[in-house]
């Protein structure tokens, strides 16, 4: 092996958490990121929910206290029926106080996590961050890997390492070059996200809400800001014209239909996106590995995408440290593949598909059964705790550890 270094493609929260976990354990890394410092911090806000299992991991690398100061704790979440609206069930993470030191969700946007993690990474002596540098390709052999990238000036750079990790997102060049299938499907309908400054707590909503309706389900989440705002998700018809759907008057009309009020809503932004449910056929091929959206993508309902990607990073970091510091056989990376791929399929994919189906169910009898099940679960502390262990992703981490 010519180098102990790990080359990480992508400086999102997954790539940066991997970098911090490795460098703090004595493994040098180079992170290659296409965006420059300016547009890196000017990305579209998304992924604001950080589950208890993820907070435990942030705490390991000194990131938790940084983002805790920029978000807020949200111990409660609600399920609603839009007709009314009618509260169906309330779940309180306080039931997990014996399971974790973080019995709550932390609402803090992805971009804030990136900003704080990048600042920490730049203070690590073993971490090199190459911003404004576009990853092009890589080669690997029995001794290591070589990543090829181009700077903003067009100069070619070559970075050697022991391993390369793709944290570059759903359009992963590494995954493409490895010819790994991205198995799954794409929903025909697109999801509309509206950011609005309006305090929905006045209607009884919690900071996180899942609202079922056979015609137009929605999600409703409070974000810290500034300014403090709410994100509201709605489904759209596949045949809708995106330009029409995102016009200010159309957005206002949709919000007024959801919760009527006098005067227009203070809308701060919107975007329309396609939802995929896909998992890579394998997460490892030789010295190349996939984490986060490079390995799996899913519906945002439940806030599991970024969180499960971060769990990939910490799982992989522990194994790379054992190889590079303790000379363990790199066959342990096959265990990373088995563990995290099974969790992606059996937990993340299954749960997010189930979440969407629950919210959009049209059959009245099935809808009633779903609502009765939610009420019964929320009313029973034992059942509610088991439910929260799954939604908090604590159970998925435990299950992954059992996979040999």
Kindly state the helix (H) or strand (E) to which residue 190 belongs, with its residue range.
Answer: strand 182-197
Q: What is the mean pLDDT of residues 327-334?
A: 95
Angle at the Cα of 196 (from 194 to 197), degrees rounded to 5? 170
- How would DSSP label each residue in 246-314? TSHHHHHHHHHHHS--SS--EEEEEEEEEEEEEEES-SEETTEEE-GGGTEE--STTS-HHHHHHHHHH
Q: Is the dihedral of CA 282, 288, 291, 297 positive or negative?
A: negative
Percent of the chain with pLDDT over 70: 98
- Predicted local distance difference test score (pLDDT) of residue 46: 67
- Predicted local distance difference test score (pLDDT) of residue 232: 95
Taking a C-beta distance cutoff of 8 angstroms, is the pair 272, 194 a contact? no
Q: Give the DSSP letter of residue 180.
A: -
Give the whole-angstrom CA distance, residue 212 versus residue 88.
10
Largest interatomic CA distance in the chain: 68
Indicate the pTM of the whole model: 0.95
Structure tokens at 243: 């330009």
Highest mean pLDDT among 121-135, 268-282, 355-369: 121-135
- Predicted local distance difference test score (pLDDT) of residue 174: 97
- Predicted local distance difference test score (pLDDT) of residue 45: 64
- Predicted local distance difference test score (pLDDT) of residue 43: 64
pLDDT above 90: residue 44:
no
- Predicted local distance difference test score (pLDDT) of residue 1: 47
217 pLDDT band, cuts 50/70/90, is very high
Average pLDDT taken over every residue of the chain: 94
pLDDT above 80: residue 140:
yes
322 pLDDT band, cuts 50/70/90, is very high
């Amino acid at each position: 092996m010519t180098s102990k270094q790990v080359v990480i493609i992508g400086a999102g929260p997954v790539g940066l958490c991997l970098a911090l976990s490795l460098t703090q354990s004595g493994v040098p890394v180079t992170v290659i990121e296409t965006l420059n410092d300016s547009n890196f911090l000017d990305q579209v806000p998304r992924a604001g929910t950080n589950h208890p299992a993820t907070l435990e991991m942030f705490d390991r690398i000194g990131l938790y206290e940084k983002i805790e100061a920029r978000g807020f704790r949200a111990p409660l979440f609600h399920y609603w029926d839009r007709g009314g609206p009618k509260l169906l069930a309330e779940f309180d993470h306080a039931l997990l106080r014996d399971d974790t030191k973080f019995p709550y969700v932390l609402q803090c946007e992805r971009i804030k996590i990136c900003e704080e993690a990048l600042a920490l990474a730049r203070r690590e002596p073993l971490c090199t961050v190459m911003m404004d540098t576009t990853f092009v390709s890589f080669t690997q052999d029995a001794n290591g890997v070589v990543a090829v990238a181009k700077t903003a000036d067009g100069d070619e750079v070559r970075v050697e390492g022991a391993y390369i990790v793709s944290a570059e997102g759903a359009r992963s060049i590494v995954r493409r070059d490895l010819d790994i299938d991205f198995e799954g499907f794409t929903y025909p309908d697109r999801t509309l996200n509206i950011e609005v400054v309006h305090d929905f707590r006045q209607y009884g909503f919690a900071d996180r809400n899942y609202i079922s309706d056979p015609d137009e389900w929605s999600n409703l989440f409070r974000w810290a800001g500034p300014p403090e705002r709410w994100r509201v998700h709605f489904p759209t018809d596949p045949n809708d014209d995106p330009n029409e759907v995102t016009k200010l008057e159309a957005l206002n009309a949709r919000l007024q239909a959801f919760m009527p009020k006098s005067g227009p809503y203070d809308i701060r932004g919107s975007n329309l996106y396609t939802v995929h449910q896909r998992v890579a056929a394998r997460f490892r091929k030789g010295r190349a590995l996939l984490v986060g959206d490079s390995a799996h993508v899913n519906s945002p309902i439940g806030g599991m995408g970024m969180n499960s990607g971060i769990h990939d990073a910490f799982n992989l970091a522990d194994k790379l440290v054992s190889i590079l510091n303790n000379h363990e056989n790199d066959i342990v990376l096959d265990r990373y593949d088995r563990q995290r791929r099974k969790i992606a399929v059996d937990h993340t994919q299954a749960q997010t598909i189930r979440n969407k189906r629950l919210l959009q169910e049209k059959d009245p009898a099935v809808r009633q059964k779903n609502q009765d099940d939610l009420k019964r679960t929320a009313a029973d502390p034992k059942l509610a705790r088991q439910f929260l262990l799954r939604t908090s992703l604590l159970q998925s981490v435990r299950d992954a550890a059992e996979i040999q």
